[in-house]
């Protein structure tokens, strides 16, 4: 079992033999990725080459990469007014086929599923009982280099939220099985807030603090 949290770090050289190492880079305006995860699972034999796992990226945006609004409502959020955002997931893989690939986004209290969603691979849906947005990717062969999904969420802050930074995502969880090595890969992405850490345009005038 491989479990790796997503966190900011400098690019590291391959370490000596251990079970697993992480290399995480922050790519600014390169393709569409930021906070991109690289995983290296080293075989029990230290002479064996490292295995590179898929890259996973999640962004919550108000403005897309063309600087067009994909959210609506006031920024920073305001008490009694609704602000919507779009969540983008991207999985890229070019080493081994993946099976049983799945991503889960648990909605925090006060965050609403807006029902608007799209994906080019698998099936994305909302489970009202568990308050989870689930992306059943399934099989991802190396011939499918990239899989994308997107969905909208919204908040309507209450008076008790005033002067607070609200959590939009506690950290999505992604799992898959490497069909060649039979390793189970589990990733957890960092939490996201109304500061919109992934949105450079929104960040120019958005403190994220509810007004």
Q: pLDDT by residue (tens digit) across 181-195?
A: 898 988 889 999 999
Phi first, then psi: give them for residue 161, nearest 5 degrees.
-90, -10
Domain total of the chain: 1
112 belongs to a structural domain: yes
1 belongs to a structural domain: no
45 belongs to a structural domain: no
pLDDT digits (tens, 9 = 90+) for 9-23: 333 344 443 333 333
92 belongs to a structural domain: yes
Which whole-number Å values give the CA distances from 23 to 34, 134, 204, in the listed order? 13, 26, 29
Cα 97-191-167 angle, rounded to 5 deg: 140
Place of tokens 């568990």: 130
Phi first, then psi: give them for residue 88, nearest 5 degrees.
-115, 130
Question: For residue 27, what pLDDT is reported?
Answer: 30
Lowest mean pLDDT among 41-55, 92-106, 192-206: 41-55
User: Mean per-residue pLDDT for 156-164?
Assistant: 97
User: Mean per-residue pLDDT for 104-133?
Assistant: 95
What span, in angstroms and rounded, lies between the C-alpha atoms of 10 and 71? 31
Left if phi > 0, otherwise alpha if psi is -120 to 50, otherwise beta: which for 61?
beta
Question: For residue 135, what pLDDT is reported?
Answer: 96
18 belongs to a structural domain: no
User: Mean per-residue pLDDT for 117-129?
Assistant: 95
93 belongs to a structural domain: yes
pLDDT digits (tens, 9 = 90+) for 55-102: 788 999 999 999 999 999 999 999 999 999 999 999 988 778 899 999
Among residues 192, 207, 99, which one has the least CA distance to residue 144? 99
211 belongs to a structural domain: no
| Domain span including residue 60 | 54-204
44 belongs to a structural domain: no
Is residue 29's pLDDT more than 60?
Answer: no
Output the pTM of the full model: 0.74
Mean pLDDT computed over every residue of the chain: 79
User: Mean per-residue pLDDT for 47-52?
Assistant: 44
Whether residue 124 contacts residue 149, with contact meaning beta carbons closer than 8 Å, is answered with yes
pLDDT > 90 fraction of the chain, expressed in percent and rounded: 56
CA neighbours closer than 13 Å in the CB half-sphere of residue 199? 31
CATH code, domain with 81: 2.60.40.1170
β-strand 184-188 against 2-5: which pairing, if any?
A: parallel
């Amino acid at each position: 079992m491989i479990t790796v949290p997503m966190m900011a770090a400098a690019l590291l050289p391959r370490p000596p033999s251990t079970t697993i190492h992480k290399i995480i880079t922050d790519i600014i305006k390169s393709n569409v990725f930021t906070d991109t995860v690289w995983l290296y699972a080293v075989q029990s034999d230290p002479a064996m080459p490292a295995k590179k796992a898929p890259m996973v990226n999640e962004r919550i945006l108000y403005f897309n990469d063309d600087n067009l609004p994909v959210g609506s409502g006031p920024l920073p959020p305001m008490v009694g007014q609704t602000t919507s955002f779009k969540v983008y997931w991207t999985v890229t893989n070019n080493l081994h086929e993946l099976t049983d690939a799945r991503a889960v986004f648990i909605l925090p209290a006060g965050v609403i599923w807006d029902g608007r969603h799209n994906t080019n691979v698998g099936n994305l849906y909302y489970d009202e009982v568990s308050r989870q947005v689930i992306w059943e990717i399934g099989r991802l062969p190396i011939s499918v280099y990239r899989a994308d999904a997107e969905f909208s969420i919204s908040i309507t802050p209450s008076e008790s939220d005033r002067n607070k930074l609200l959590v939009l995502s506690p950290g999505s969880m992604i799992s898959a099985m490497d069909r060649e090595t039979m390793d189970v890969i589990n990733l957890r992405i960092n939490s996201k807030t109304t500061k919109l850490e992934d949105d450079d345009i929104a960040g120019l005038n958005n403190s994220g603090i509810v007004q």
